[in-house]
Amino acid sequence: MLYPEIEPYATHTVDVGDGHALYVEEVGNPAGIPVVFLHGGPGGGLMPTARRFFDPARYRIVLFDQRGAGRSTPLGSLHQNTTWHLVADIETIRVRLGISAWLVFGGSWGSTLALAYSQSHPTAVTGLILRGITLVRAAELEWVYQRGVDRLQPEEWQRFIAPIPPAERDDILAAYHRRLLGDDAAEARTCADAWMRWEAIICSLTPDPELINTLTADETVLPTARILAHYMVNGGFLASETQLLDGVDRIRHLPGVIIQGRYDQCCPPITAYDLASRWPEADFQVVPTAGHSSLEPALTERLIKATDHFADLLS
């Protein structure tokens, strides 16, 4: 159901300051409708399939690796790496590419970043497509990293918490953060492997061996885990748990689609429901046969329909 495989027609290295240089690529039609793809994680980086959610004949598709992720450098850097640095980076890329306004597409952490960017720069946005919503609230973090989804994945939960001594398991997230950023390289790698396997397991309705291999790849597992822990421990660097909900009024005039898997273990539907309740004009779709991953067929189908719809709307 995805559009055919496609290669970029242009790539860029964008210096955004603070020692960071971002990998940026453009795909599709240079004269098409501008859209920016915001990947998940944080720290996840791009995968080639991200290019294929958009009709390449109708869209000018901009994709980039966020600070410290993928082909951006320095890999794994936490220096000046916060949500608000990423928001500024998106705007830098838009200006650099000469785009007046663009559609914003983001899933999982990308949905958080899409909301933060759009609320900061509403005049630069033509609409939003959001999938698998997370707002980095305490209850969401507790669900994933303390008590919640462990009840659905008890055997995998035991693998996840195994690197953490029982005395520190009252705050798994903080315990992992200390080790991932600590001086013991072997311990950090062990924790990174366990952390990213857990993330891969809960990202889909059924375990996806390819996703597990991707998220635990030797060269990226520790940088990705470090960035993810850095953001989660800091609550996504948001001023309050309700910042992005309270800011919805800044974007309610924009067309929006919220697509949520009913059985999403990473980002339970209550978060998408809370967002849709604040944004009743948005098209809120709960997909009854899907979990979290955008590559689950039912979610892929809805996302393609959404991008096709916006291509008609924005033409």
SS (H, E, C) the chain: CCCCCCCCCEEEEEEEECCEEEEEEEEECCCCEEEEEECCCCCCCCCHHHHHHCCCCCEEEEEECCCCCCCCECCCCCCCCCHHHHHHHHHHHHHHCCCCCEEEEEECHHHHHHHHHHHHCHHHEEEEEEECCCCCCHHHHHHHHCCCHHHCCHHHHHHHHCCCCHHHHHHHHHHHHHHHCCCCHHHHHHHHHHHHHHHHHCCCCCCCHHHHHHHCCCCCHHHHHHHHHHHHHCHHHCCCCCHHHHHHHHCCCCCEEEEEECCCCCCCHHHHHHHHHHCCCCEEEEECCCCCCCCCHHHHHHHHHHHHHHHHHHC
Active-site residue (options: 108, 118, 204, 293): 108
Active-site annotation holds for 292: yes
Quick one: pLDDT at residue 208? Answer: 79
Q: What is the pLDDT of residues 13-48, one digit of tens each?
A: 999 999 999 999 999 999 999 999 999 999 999 999
Active-site residue (options: 65, 89, 193, 264): 264
Quick one: pLDDT at residue 211? Answer: 77
Stretch 8-12: mean pLDDT, rounded?
A: 98
Active-site annotation holds for 108: yes
Quick one: pLDDT at residue 213? Answer: 80
Quick one: pLDDT at residue 106? Answer: 98
Quick one: pLDDT at residue 144? Answer: 97
Q: What is the pLDDT of residues 44-84, one digit of tens each?
A: 999 999 999 999 999 999 999 999 999 999 999 999 999 99
Q: What are the chain's domains?
A: 10-135+237-314 (3.40.50.1820), 139-236 (no CATH)
Q: What is the pLDDT of residues 145-165, one digit of tens each?
A: 999 999 999 999 999 999 999
Quick one: pLDDT at residue 5? Answer: 98
pTM above 0.85, yes or no: yes
